Chains A and B, each alone.
Chain A
């Protein structure tokens, strides 16, 4: 609902056509990662560590190799040696050593579920039977899970010799803190001391998983001549190819990588886990090999989002003007360094005018799977801390929670988190739309509370390649290297149709393999509609230039005397003025010219703009049980321009629901041995449909002037506010602070009991 009316400005942009991949997906024909089969393919299986932290003394695979049907066994000894070189790993970067160690433990296991060996066999049952024959001699080491344990004096060190980066002077002893990132401005302590009010809080969240339905899966084939193929479901087959090729020391172009449909990623499918293992198994076996994770493997051995421990103080004057923000947080990064502290720090500083600030994030490793990007990586946890603390300020000063945010909201021209001024941002417009929404003034019943929270998410641009080709009948083929995760085939077709002036239905979009088009980086930072969209639009403009040129030749005029309008070339001058040539009339004459009409464009746009959102949440708390019901939920977001409003609203609703799950019940629960106790959807409690009201959406459109159609990234911002919006609502329903997530019934009940 609340879709903007067609503005007359655009013909196709802003409409809601059926998505081209829809039929295949709803009828089960679409081929996802675990569906793919190729000739001669055999099955792989992975042996995983039963210990959270242990040294591998030896691995004996001889009995497994002798089992009939087994075609290959692989351990870390089969991997080439790795350097400490840092390469792009999805939305972050990582050292080759750690990327390789994520795929196969090398010398030490760092978490339960860490891969230690792999088998390929003629059947999955034989492969699994062979795993039981592999003997691993472990020297079990003490382990740490929580940040405080990891940083305690005498804690076992995961990565020997790791010295914290980003501190001056550098520490002289190794620790589990890999890195510190700080942004500071002004004298924060003096500003806080001089503030009329200050509020402080200690906050905590647990690691959570993206919860994509499709597990990680791949099929690999590595030929004796050194060339290989990979079939994967991912958020970016070019980057996964690059990571795999780097780990295996092969030229990228020798590893042709084919994208399959993706059943959800949310940041978690931007790195490699199975791919090099499948490749090594394939080379040994001489056959294509499939590896697939189980759900338990996905929880234990792919990348969740970090938990956080945080201390915050915010100061304000009597009228609610913020004076200073001081934040220090510790990311529970999992087994490998490189969690999302930078974006966490940016999140704390992006949405409000802050005369003085200090924001510092610590990246702390511990013995569970290395964390990975999860939709606005690093932002929801920090926004929970900041937006909860802001709510405390509003209550303390008796100021309306939206008014407090309006008073301090970043406006165009204000300094952004790195002091680069904000461009055409729409936070104020979002806050005003939220205030005007009937939800904000609706009455509440007993045991109900209303929470609000805002969000800043930086978004991204990045490298993309697109090609636009015309068939002789004038129909249009658009090719990109960006997987279709959230409806990008539809949005690319809309933008191409808008640019060319042709019907949406005459444009088809293909996601090409790495051998068929130039590089596109992973889908992340809500960048695809923006950046890949720019490549598609630019390529379409080049096609128009060719069409105009050829039409001019056919009309016998100069190109400047031809106008491209409504999918046809119109002659403006000369004898044939007023005549037109359709796209098919020109495309059909390609044989008279220099060949078919095709244009390719590679881009790296950095003129993206951040997204802002405001969420309003009503909860009802059962005071006897602590159960929290979400009874009403409204999302407001600056979406730039909604190319396909259905999918923009879908992003807003989906992000809100994932955030609600994070707030209410989702958490990694570890036992005393570091084993995740809930590696399945029964006890890892994502929301089910009956847990949720309809998520209302309000799209605010403040276009990005740097994009032909005004696009801003929309996919990630909606997961940033819900943690605080829910917690603030529960805090207002109960009159009690809610500073630890998830707000599971037993935790809320315990808080109510403690206050009695």
Chain B
């Protein structure tokens, strides 16, 4: 592992200039994927641009019910923001399933997203949450839905010189909550065989008025399944609605057979997990959990 140059810019503009100047540069935030890949010889960037020293890159900012999370905010840091934990328990729990505590003290949601693994835990939760990211680059800034960042395993839609600076979570209506579950053979320190994120809103009668369902590790990227969310809207999450939602989830799966699970198992688990996740989110929305 040899790196020619390490940069620690103080501003977004500086970072953009450095990234634009070296097409083989890589962004470093927590480094829990990048450093591992470099040590294994799977990544050999000519320079590294560490974004942690840029202002607000390691902060959580709440403003009128909206949250802005710096792209280099470590996952365990999210746990310290009570308001965020209350508003987005599913996002926070997803980010805090990654690796071990030691890994999460470094690992970030920005890095989890831009590493573009289909099994990234925080990504389905962010997609279900309707999160967007602020991308900065040579042409200025743009706000992009989370699901539009990864395009295939290891590849993002970011253009040369661009990087993700912020993750943005929208205002929560009353009686809204989210949840994330994953299937792993162990209890921690593992990679999702399937991940499911659900975010939903109930009315005062307990009827679901809005729902987003997103899945990880069942396709080349994390995916949102609009049909699954639609199956919940207008219901009280009775068995028939959950079955319909699970069927929509399974229909959207395009997994592969690999060392972590068969396609058949992944597809079946996506349905099981989506149901369980929806029930946790609904219980949270009702204030029961």
Write the residues of chain A forming the contact surface with B, with a CB cutoff of 8 angstroms: 125, 624-627, 664-665, 669, 677-678, 682-683, 685, 687-688, 690-691, 744-746, 749-750, 753
Contacts and interface: CB of A to CB of B under 8 A. Distances in A.
Interface in B232-289: 258-262, 265, 268-269, 272
B207 interface: no
B259 A685 contact: no
Interface string B179-211: 000010111111101000000000000000000
Contact of A688 (B183, B189, B191, B260): B189
Contact of B259 (A626, A627, A678): A678
Contacts of A687: 186
B2 A125 contact: yes
A625 B259 contact: no
A691 B260 contact: no
Contact of A745 (B183, B191, B259): B183
A745 B193 CA distance: 10
Nearest to B41: A128
B190 A682 contact: yes
20 contacts: A125-B2, A624-B272, A625-B183, A625-B269, A664-B185, A665-B185, A665-B186, A677-B259, A678-B259, A685-B186, A688-B186, A688-B187, A690-B187, A691-B186, A691-B187, A745-B183, A745-B265, A749-B265, A750-B265, A753-B268
Nearest to B185: A665
Task: Tell me what chain A mostly uses at the interface: helix, strand, loop, or mixed.
Answer: loop
Interface in B130-153: none
A116 B72 CA distance: 43
B261 A688 contact: no
Contacts of A677: 258-259
B103 to A, nearest CB: 11
Given A624-B272, A625-B272, A677-B259, A685 B185 contact: yes
A689 B224 CA distance: 34
- Sorted nearest first, the 8 A-B pairs with minimum C-beta distance are A746-B265, A690-B187, A677-B259, A669-B259, A624-B272, A665-B185, A688-B189, A691-B187
A550 to B, nearest CB: 58
Contacts of A625: 183, 269, 272
Interface residues of B, number: 19
A669 B260 CA distance: 10
B188 A688 contact: yes
Contact of B185 (A669, A745, A753): A745
B259 A690 contact: no
Nearest to B2: A125
A626 B190 CA distance: 17
Contacts of B189: 682, 688
A678 B188 CA distance: 17
B272 A683 contact: no
B268 A685 contact: no
Given A624-B272, A688-B188, A688-B189, 4 more contacts: A627-B185, A682-B190, A691-B186, A745-B193
A319 B48 CA distance: 73
B272 A746 contact: no
Contacts of A125: 2
A741 to B, nearest CB: 13
Contacts, number: 47
Contacts of B261: 746
B268 A749 contact: yes
A685 B272 contact: no
A562 to B, nearest CB: 60
A683 B260 contact: yes
Contacts of B258: 677
Contacts of A750: 265
Nearest to A622: B272
B27 to A, nearest CB: 23
A666 to B, nearest CB: 10
Between A664, A677, A678, A683, the greatest number of chain B beta carbons within 10 A of the residue's beta carbon is seen for: A683
A352 to B, nearest CB: 34
Contacts of A745: 183, 185, 193, 265
A688 B193 CA distance: 17
A354 to B, nearest CB: 37
A665 B190 CA distance: 12
Contacts of B187: 688, 690-691
Contacts of B2: 125
A209 to B, nearest CB: 15
Nearest to B194: A625
B177 to A, nearest CB: 23
Contacts of A624: 272
A606 B107 CA distance: 55
Contacts of B193: 745-746
A685 B193 CA distance: 13
Contacts of B259: 669, 677-678, 683
B208 to A, nearest CB: 22
B66 to A, nearest CB: 35
B271 to A, nearest CB: 9
A749 B193 CA distance: 14
A682 B191 contact: yes
B247 to A, nearest CB: 15
A689 to B, nearest CB: 9
Contacts of A669: 259
Between B185, B187, B259, the greatest number of chain A beta carbons within 10 A of the residue's beta carbon is seen for: B185
A687 B185 CA distance: 10
A632 to B, nearest CB: 16
B258 to A, nearest CB: 8
B185 A744 contact: yes
A746 B263 CA distance: 10
A633 to B, nearest CB: 15
Nearest to B187: A690
Interface in B161-189: 183, 185-189
A691 B261 CA distance: 19
A669 B258 CA distance: 10
Nearest to A667: B259
A708 to B, nearest CB: 44
A624 B274 CA distance: 12
A682 to B, nearest CB: 6
Contacts of B183: 625, 627, 745
Nearest to A129: B2
A685 B186 CA distance: 8
Contacts of A690: 186-188
A746 B258 CA distance: 12
A682 B185 CA distance: 11
Contacts of A691: 186-187
Nearest to B266: A746
A62 B188 CA distance: 48
Nearest to A750: B265
A211 to B, nearest CB: 14
Nearest to B269: A625
A677 B256 CA distance: 15
Given A625-B183, A664-B185, A685 B190 contact: yes
A625 B266 CA distance: 10
B254 to A, nearest CB: 18
A671 to B, nearest CB: 8
Nearest to A124: B1
Contacts of B188: 688, 690
A701 B193 CA distance: 45
Contacts of B272: 624-625
Nearest to A749: B265
Nearest to A665: B185
Nearest to A746: B265
Contacts of B260: 683
Interface string B97-134: 00000000000000000000000000000000000000
A123 to B, nearest CB: 10
Nearest to B271: A624
Contacts of B268: 749, 753
Interface in B19-51: none
A683 B183 CA distance: 14
A645 to B, nearest CB: 29
B262 A746 contact: yes
Contacts of A665: 185-186
